[in-house]
């Protein structure tokens, strides 16, 4: 079995979506502090403050509209699914990914879109820009028609190596609404998707935390080869 990590590292002041709170990560109690209190080395601990959309994360339907379910209600069966990765690195920064782009990438990959699974879109954006400022602005992404095309293949979600599923602007907002209407969701801020290209199908695992009524959750996203679902 081979596991490939697709998750961004979280740390103090990790890049977050524009307008979202920062990731705050610091020492709550050190070993030395514990020893001063107890006379022996105690247990160190840290604290974390962050938005539910921090780092590599899955959006809950609640994010798209008030009628959507929160992340605590998102079916875990949809978090361990078959997946494929598509090579879209030729798409220009800020450009829209269209249904024809996706269909051509599927043909190139030589494997079918898995029903009840996921499609990960390798645009090369993370590799090209992270952690520079243009990571937050210059991504390519799917348009509404491409989102509808993906949903029509029977997927439960799709993922992308940028902070948003669509290019920045109104297109991205309409893609979010389309996800709610189509009963799918998406995963943002993936990385290392290049390692999946040409490797064939895999099992995708990305389990969210159980935030009550959460609009999203960070996940440890991995691709597993040699595992059946």
Query: For 41-45, 70-74, 105-109, 222-226, which range has the lowest pLDDT when averaged over its residues?
Result: 41-45
pLDDT band at 106 (very low <50, low <70, confident <90, very high): very high
User: Across all residues in the chain, what is the average pLDDT?
Assistant: 96
pLDDT the model gives residue 41: 79
Q: What is the pLDDT of residues 10-49, one digit of tens each?
A: 999 999 999 999 999 999 999 999 889 888 878 999 999 9
Give the mean pLDDT of 182-196.
98
Indicate the pTM of the whole model: 0.94
57-225 is classed CATH 3.50.30.50: yes
Nearest-angstrom CA–CA distance, 56 and 166: 16
pLDDT the model gives residue 228: 59
pLDDT the model gives residue 30: 93
Give the mean pLDDT of 160-181.
98
> Can you tell me which residue has the tokens 């998750």?
7
B/e letters for 194-205, b = 16+ CB within 10 Å, e = fewer, are eebeeeebbbbb
Q: What is the pLDDT of residues 122-145, one digit of tens each?
A: 999 999 999 999 999 999 999 999
Cα→Cα distances 225→145, 185, 201, Å: 31, 23, 8
Nearest-angstrom CA–CA distance, 179 and 202: 23
The yes-or-no verdict on residue 229 having pLDDT over 80 is no
Q: What is the pLDDT of residues 44-88, one digit of tens each?
A: 999 999 999 999 999 999 999 999 999 999 999 999 999 999 999
The phi-psi region of residue 88 (left if phi > 0; otherwise alpha if psi is between -120 and 50; otherwise beta) is alpha
Give the mean pLDDT of 148-171.
98
Q: Which residue from 227, 219, 183, 220 is spatially nearest to 202, judged by alpha carbons?
A: 227
């Amino acid at each position: 079995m081979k596991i490939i990590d697709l998750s961004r590292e979280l740390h103090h002041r990790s890049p977050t979506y524009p307008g979202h709170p920062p990731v705050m990560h610091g020492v709550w109690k050190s070993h030395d502090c514990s020893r001063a209190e107890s006379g022996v080395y105690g247990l160190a601990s840290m604290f974390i403050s962050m938005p539910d959309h921090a780092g590599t994360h899955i959006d809950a339907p609640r994010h798209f509209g008030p009628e959507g379910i929160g992340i605590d209600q998102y079916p875990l069966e949809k978090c361990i699914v078959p997946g494929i990765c598509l090579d879209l690195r030729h798409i220009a920064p800020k450009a829209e990914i269209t249904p024809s782009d996706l269909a051509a990438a599927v043909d190139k990959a030589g494997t079918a879109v898995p029903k009840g699974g996921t499609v990960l879109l390798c645009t090369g954006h993370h590799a090209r820009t992270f952690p520079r400022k243009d990571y937050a602005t210059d991504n390519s992404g799917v348009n509404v028609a491409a989102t509808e095309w993906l949903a029509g293949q029977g997927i439960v979600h799709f993922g992308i190596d940028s902070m948003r599923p669509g290019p920045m602007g109104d297109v991205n907002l309409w893609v979010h609404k389309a996800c709610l209407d189509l009963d799918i969701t998406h995963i943002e801020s993936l990385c290392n998707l290049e390692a999946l290209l040409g490797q064939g199908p895999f099992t995708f695992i990305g389990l969210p935390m159980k935030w009550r009524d959460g609009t999203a959750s960070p996940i440890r996203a991995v691709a597993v080869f040699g595992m059946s679902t």
